[in-house]
Structure 1
Amino acid sequence: MTTLRTTLLLALACAPLTALAGTKAQAHIAKAMEAHKAGRFADALVELKAAYALEPNPDLLFAIGQVNVKLERCADAIEYYEKFLATKPGAQAQADTQQAIDTCKAQIAAAQPPPPPTPAPGSDSPYLPASGSTARAPWYKDKLGGALVLGGVAFSVVGLVLYTGARGDLDDAESAPNVTRYDELVDSAHSKRTWSVVMIGGGAVLIGAGVVRYMMRKGSSKETRGVGMVPAAGGGLVTWSGQF
């Protein structure tokens, strides 16, 4: 409905001009009406301005304003509407043009972003917009996650103790008084080292499962958490990255 009304207004504005304007202006007006009908509003605007440059008929000012509206250039449209009003058209034309100006001003106002809320009197802190993030649920309320992590830490500690014991047995084997004692210490070291690997590996799995459990809790924040094993002299360290 709006497109039809705009087309009719443009046609009414341009129709009398084709009879009054010169041959060159008539050609531009005809091209403008054809471009407008095809939806090529930028081309129509160029042709109307060219026609006005040749024949400055006031009705062309209104037509140029209408095409600017179609191009969503309300500020430019208001400029041409006001130029048209300055030519003192008839009462009905003035009313229609003023209505078009008011509509454009309303569209410009609606496109402006709303002002930020005014802080409450006496408030020293600046206004901060509400965040879309939700509060993170306390990690310690998840009993299963806590049990998995604590169990994993316990397994890892036992594994580190066994690993340290294995290294001690190997050191003692170097100073064994006889071959029998040497073999006993070496076998003990191998056994402890095997169990230390099993315990540390199992502990890492349990800790990892606990971390996954924490991260899957509803309401938890999207932060990076991780567990790592760092080799160290005489054993190793269990590291945790993240926030409790």
Structure 2
Amino acid sequence: MTSARAQPADSKQQGDLAAMEAETKFKSGDYAGAVEKFKLAYQLDADPGYLFNVAQAYRLAKDCASSADYYRQFLEKVPSPPNLDQVKGWLADQEACVRALASSAAAEADAKLTSGRYVDAVEQFKVAYQLDPNPDYLFKIAEAYRLAHDCSNAAESYRRFLTKAPNPPNVDQIERRIVEQDECAKLPGSSASSGSKRPTDPKGPRDPVDRGAGKRRLAMIATGAGVVALGVAGFFTWDARYLAKQRDNLLRSCDTATPCTPEQWTGYKDRYNDRGDRAATIAITGYAIGGVAIAGGVALFLMARSGHEQPVAITPTSGGAMVLGGFAF
């Protein structure tokens, strides 16, 4: 059996072995493995140098929050190391990195708050606060809870904010909100644990929203555009036929009595062919666009009547368009 007196020496030896393994992993770029071994070495032999090594490994692993934490732990144990200025410089860099990460998380949270995703905003603000314990994030957490109608958590978060920042410029407003959220949490139907339910609207029931109005307006616009497109197509159809007739008449006029020169023949043919082809192309395009627009208008009108989104497929065809879908009446 090992004597009690021999245990510290054995522990130090085990710490040295763990540190040697950590250095090997550190040099090979396995910073995560080095962190674990340096931590083990510190548990076995509380040498503050291991805290510094853990901080270095975390820094090279791009984990600035953990790196800053271990630099601070090292300076608490060794306030004036030989490389104090260098350690302070690394610590400042890692703290700046942490603040940048927290600001990024807070920016995402602000975007979610603006878009009405209050629960997601709460979680993202919590990430920011965990990285950088800035009391402003606690206030934003409270605001997100309030907007989510989570009255109990909103009141608690406002109180936490005042604990960290006892005299903010808007202290009166915050205290009023704490009272409001406490009262809200007591309302019938309110969840005391989460406050997630919305209190009854004192204004009473509101008029139902006509969800089909927008679709009906779009249906009218699409149908009107389709009619115009079909009108344009009809005009160019007539124009193409007229040009073809004119071309044929001119070519027939080149009889044996007054023969046309080759240049006249080619000129008549090319001039009327080109214009006729262009008119025919515009007509076909107009029919296709008009058909699709009218079909889309009909589909939107039917969806507006049903009050539900329905699957609709509009497929152009040679004669216009084909609509496939299901509608509830």
> Normalized against structure 2, the TM-score is what?
0.27
Which structure: larger Rg? 1
> Normalized against structure 1, the TM-score is what?
0.36
